[in-house]
Amino acid sequence: MSADLTELYQQVILDHNRRPRNRGRLPTANRVAHGDNPSCGDQCSVYLRLDGDRIAELSFDGSGCAISQASASLMTTQLKGKTTAQAEELYRQFHDIVTTGQTPGEISDLAAFAGVHTFPARIKCATLGWHAALNALKGDAAPATTELPSD
Ligand code: ZN
């Protein structure tokens, strides 16, 4: 990745951290899940309104490090309007990006987190909001955890 692109991607993270998108409880939510990353102290709740199989609206709320909050904010912008299957596919791409640093061919804001792969402890921060969102989609009432063996 070129230096310019790295800088651009850092701007994406800083911007989401300064001005989080879709932050706060969603009054119309019909699915809610909470995620917890004890290794860093991050918390993230995801609220979404599922309309059939499509995510009509979603929001997050939480506290923690810049990576966890910026990632959750970006996640809400990526998942709006997506089906459950599309959301799972996006998460698979994002997980690849943060664990390998390899970015997909097309430029995506998700690639802003490619640098996370050099800080393995931060992968859990970056994926926390996504875990919560996927659990909310499954209608799983159990808290999301970043301590899954598959992680
Ligand atoms: Zn964190």
Q: pLDDT digit string (tens) for 102-151?
A: 887 777 889 999 989 988 889 999 999 999 999 999 986 556 666 554 44
Contact 35, 146 (CB under 8 A): yes
Higher per-residue confidence, 33 vs 10: 33
Q: How far is the CA of 52 from the centre of ligand 1 (A)?
A: 33
Query: Is the pTM here over 0.95, yes or no?
Result: no
How many angstroms does the Cα of residue 95 sit away from the middle of ligand 1? 16
Q: How far apart are CA 110 and CA 112, in angstroms?
A: 5
Domains and CATH numbers, the chain: 3-141 (3.90.1010.10)
Task: Report the C-alpha gap between 44 and 133 in whole angstroms.
Answer: 10
Backbone angles phi, psi at 97, to 5 degrees: -60, -45
Average pLDDT (3-28) is 88
